[in-house]
């Protein structure tokens, strides 16, 4: 079977061994005579899948008893509205605006209450994130929100911003578990699964338990973090299959060195692509060097025509998903956790050859 080298920004590559396990269990789940898709979420079989996923993800992330893990549907963007609904009953929320998704979080929160944009990279095409200390966090904020990896622009925070005593809320949709993080620095982390965790359809939330008390009873039930957490994410039918797949990805990561193992591989992968980008001036990176992402590498060739030729020729050679986002143009290689090192090596060879023949 020929599988492509998949550099899609999301939904994106999943580990082949995970896909194979899911395929083998699809029709008759672990000998229970039915697919997991056909089973009640209130039954023992799904219960075990659900709890194991929470346990494995929790241990990979290193979460403590002070945090609750919650699964929801609706994608990461639904959280742009639910976070202010739950965590900002009164007062203002602060934002670091590093691009489209960060802006989306500002816009949704602004519909529901007071926002303060503390920093923005819009003037320079979102080509960087702030340096540590560049953003002062007013201590009267209800929370400070930022996006750790900016999927579209290929920028990423290499540190956790210091928000003082203000709870820090992070959209980690495109770099969760790409490296070890100290969860205790965060009030809340959330991530749509479809890049580093599994398939689309589920968002993973890690919320400091004391913050759950901010959810008011007047919120609709299924928007209410406290109520959903109290029911172990089973207030209504959870996205069972997506959660099962996230659980398989968690087990896969555990077999391969956890977040630290992923980080070692991610550093090697990113170094080889950026090494080629910096080789001789043929390629231009979009992100400033200090803000470069380990997950999404954004770059361009000397012309839009050559970019187009690159995408077409790469596609013909089995390297897929390399077109840049329409708002940035150029090229983008998404090299998430599940993109094998061999795929990245193949890409770098292809880039070298392209530069040799077109440069
Ligand atoms: C960092 C980030 N946040 C949010 C989103 C939106 O996620 P969803 O489509 O799950 O709403 C994306 C999608 O690419 C993203 O990269």
- Across the chain, which has 359 residues, the per-10-residue mean pLDDT values are 93 98 98 98 97 98 97 97 98 98 98 98 98 96 98 98 98 98 98 98 98 98 98 98 98 98 98 97 98 98 98 98 97 98 98 96
Q: Domains, the chain, ranges and CATH?
A: 16-255 (3.40.640.10), 258-358 (3.90.1150.10)
Please check whether residue 321 is in contact with residue 151, taking contact to mean a CB–CB distance below 8 angstroms.
Answer: no
Q: Exposure string (b/e) for 189-209, b if CB count within 10 Å is 16 or more?
A: bbbbbbbbbbbbbbbbbbbbe
Centre of ligand 1 to C-alpha 356, Å, is 36
Ligand 1, pocket-test mutation among 148, 151, 201, most atoms within 8 A of CB = 151
Longest dimension (CA), the chain: 64
Centre of ligand 1 to C-alpha 41, Å, is 26
Give the number of the atom of ligand 1 that is nearest the alpha carbon of residue 148.
1
Centre of ligand 1 to C-alpha 94, Å, is 19
Please check whether residue 162 is in contact with residue 135, taking contact to mean a CB–CB distance below 8 angstroms.
Answer: no
As a whole number of angstroms, the distance between CA 303 and CA 280 comes to: 16
Please check whether residue 224 is in contact with residue 82, taking contact to mean a CB–CB distance below 8 angstroms.
Answer: no
Give the number of the atom of ligand 1 that is nearest the alpha carbon of residue 147.
1
Q: Among all residues, which ones are annotated catalytic?
A: 101, 171, 195
Put simply, whether the predicted model's pTM sits higher than 0.95 gets the answer yes
Q: Whose CA is nearest to atom 1 of ligand 1?
A: 173
Centre of ligand 1 to C-alpha 100, Å, is 9
Residues with CB under 6 A from ligand 1: 10, 75-77, 101, 147, 151, 171, 173-174, 192
What does the pLDDT read at residue 1? 64
What does the pLDDT read at residue 2? 87
Give the number of the atom of ligand 1 that is nearest the alpha carbon of residue 203.
10
15-48 residue pLDDT tens: 999 999 999 999 999 999 999 999 999 999 999 9
What does the pLDDT read at residue 46? 98
């Amino acid at each position: 079977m020929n599988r492509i080298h998949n550099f899609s920004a999301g939904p994106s590559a999943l580990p082949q061994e995970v896909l194979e396990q899911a395929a083998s269990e699809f029709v008759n789940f672990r000998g229970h005579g039915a697919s997991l898709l056909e089973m009640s979420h209130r039954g023992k079989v799904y219960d075990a899948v659900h709890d194991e996923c929470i346990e494995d993800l929790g241990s990979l992330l290193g979460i403590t008893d002070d945090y609750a893990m919650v699964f929801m549907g609706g994608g990461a963007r639904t959280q742009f509205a639910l976070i202010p609904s739950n965590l900002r009953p009164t007062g203002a929320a602060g934002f670091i605006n590093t691009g489209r998704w960060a802006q989306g979080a500002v816009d949704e929160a602004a519909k529901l209450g007071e926002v303060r944009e503390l920093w923005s990279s819009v003037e320079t095409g979102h080509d960087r994130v702030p340096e540590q200390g560049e953003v002062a966090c007013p201590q009267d904020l209800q929370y400070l929100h930022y996006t750790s990896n900016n999927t579209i622009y290929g920028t990423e925070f290499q540190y956790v911003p210091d928000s003082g005593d203000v709870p820090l809320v992070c959209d980690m949709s495109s770099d969760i578990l790409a490296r070890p993080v100290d969860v205790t620095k965060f009030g809340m982390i959330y991530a749509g699964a479809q890049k580093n965790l599994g398939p689309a359809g589920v968002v993973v939330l890690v919320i400091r338990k004391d913050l759950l008390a901010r959810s008011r009873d007047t919120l609709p039930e299924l928007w209410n973090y406290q109520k959903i957490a109290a029911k172990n994410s089973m207030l209504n039918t959870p996205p069972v299959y997506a959660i099962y797949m996230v659980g398989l990805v968690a087990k896969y990561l555990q077999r391969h060195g956890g977040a630290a193992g992923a980080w070692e591989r991610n550093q090697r992968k990113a170094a080889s692509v950026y090494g080629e980008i910096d080789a001789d001036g043929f390629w231009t990176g979009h992100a400033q060097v200090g803000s470069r992402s380990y997950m999404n590498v954004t770059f361009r060739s000397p012309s839009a025509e050559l970019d187009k030729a690159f995408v077409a020729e790469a596609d013909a050679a089995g390297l897929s998903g390399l077109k840049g986002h329409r708002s940035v143009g150029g090229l983008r290689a998404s090299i998430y956790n599940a993109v094998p090192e061999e795929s990245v090596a193949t890409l770098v060879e292809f880039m070298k050859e392209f530069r040799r023949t077109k440069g």
